[in-house]
Amino acid sequence: MISGGDRMAQVDDNDDASRDASTPRDTGTLGKLMVLLDLVTHSDAPLRFTDILALAGQPRGTLHRQLGHLVEEGLLEIDAEGRYAPGLRLLDLASRSWARNEFRLIAAPHLAALHRETGETVHLGVLRGSSIIYLDKVEGHQPVRMYSQIGNASPCYCTGVGKAALSVLTADKLSELLRSLHFNRFTSATHMNAETLLAEIRDIVSVGHAYDREEHEAGIRCVAAPIWSDDRSFIGGVSVTGPAYRLSMELLQAWAVPVQMTARKIMDEMRIRLGPRR
């Protein structure tokens, strides 16, 4: 097991998953189609053609053809008022991917055990670019409305799982990611610059766990621990989350050890079941 100091000495990631969906990608037709899917699926409401045209920055004729292809394939749907929304085929693809995700299956019994121990909501997430993608969620006995849903993305700099994941990046990768971050204020506690975030990451490395102190959602706290593969090709985390009125910082500190133990058990099983195959 690599020590915290060694992790910071080495301490990135793939490209920035939280970049604006309209950022040009040099990937030809497929890349342009993915931009459109990103725009529509991440919008809070269905988009009209003119909305997508303004966001995508593509020629009107090309955009019309591409949207038509996506509708024909069932990846997008268009309603009677000409508004585009995610298609049912996306749900089918997502459900199949989720059901067959081996890492999620490995983690599931450990998440359930942590949920039984704490009674609160347990999350499993993976770092993609500068975002945390939630792969699984076990609801607490008294669930409260939270942003997190399976498949949702949250910024790494203001979530417990995100900051825990950042703590196991190599130094070069962490520096690269911090330079790419665009900080948005979600609450009065949100980090708004790389300097304060880096200072907290150093603390996380020393103790092995992270907190969300109402940084992403007011009234929501969590404690999280990192999960990673030996080659750092996979980095994520596990957390216990709940309302601030019920989860005092003292209680979260007491749960830090069970959360870290859960992360370690998941990693141990990952090495056994997902290790090199002859």
Say if residue 139 is in the same domain as residue 225. yes
The domain of 9 spans 1-97
Token code pair at residue 192: 């708004």
Token code pair at residue 14: 């793939």
Domain ends where: 68, 97, 126? 97
Least confident of 7-21, 119-133, 155-169, 208-222: 7-21
Say if residue 63 is in the same domain as residue 187. no
Residue 9 confidence (pLDDT): 37
Say if residue 106 is in the same domain as residue 212. yes
Say if residue 178 is in the same domain as residue 257. yes
Inside any domain, residue 232:
yes
Inside any domain, residue 133:
yes
- pLDDT for residue 231 is more than 50: yes
Inside any domain, residue 202:
yes
- pLDDT for residue 184 is more than 90: yes
Inside any domain, residue 278:
no
Say if residue 221 is in the same domain as residue 268. yes
In angstroms, the CA 36 to CA 188 distance is 33
pLDDT tens sequence across 50-96? 999 888 888 888 888 999 889 988 889 898 889 998 887 776 666 56
Inside any domain, residue 181:
yes
Say if residue 4 is in the same domain as residue 119. no
Domain count, the chain: 2
Q: What is the pTM of this model?
A: 0.68
CB 117 within 8 A of CB 240: no
- pLDDT for residue 251 is more than 70: yes
Say if residue 67 is in the same domain as residue 134. no
Which CATH number do you get for residue 44?
1.10.10.10
69: amino acid identity, one letter:
H
- pLDDT for residue 101 is more than 70: no
| Mean pLDDT value across the chain | 83
Residue 100 confidence (pLDDT): 55
Say if residue 89 is in the same domain as residue 150. no
Domain ends where: 97, 114, 132? 97
**Pairwise pLDDT comparison (167 vs 4), residue with the higher score:** 167
In angstroms, the CA 106 to CA 222 distance is 22
* C-alpha distances out from residue 163 to 31, 37, 210, Å: 29, 28, 6
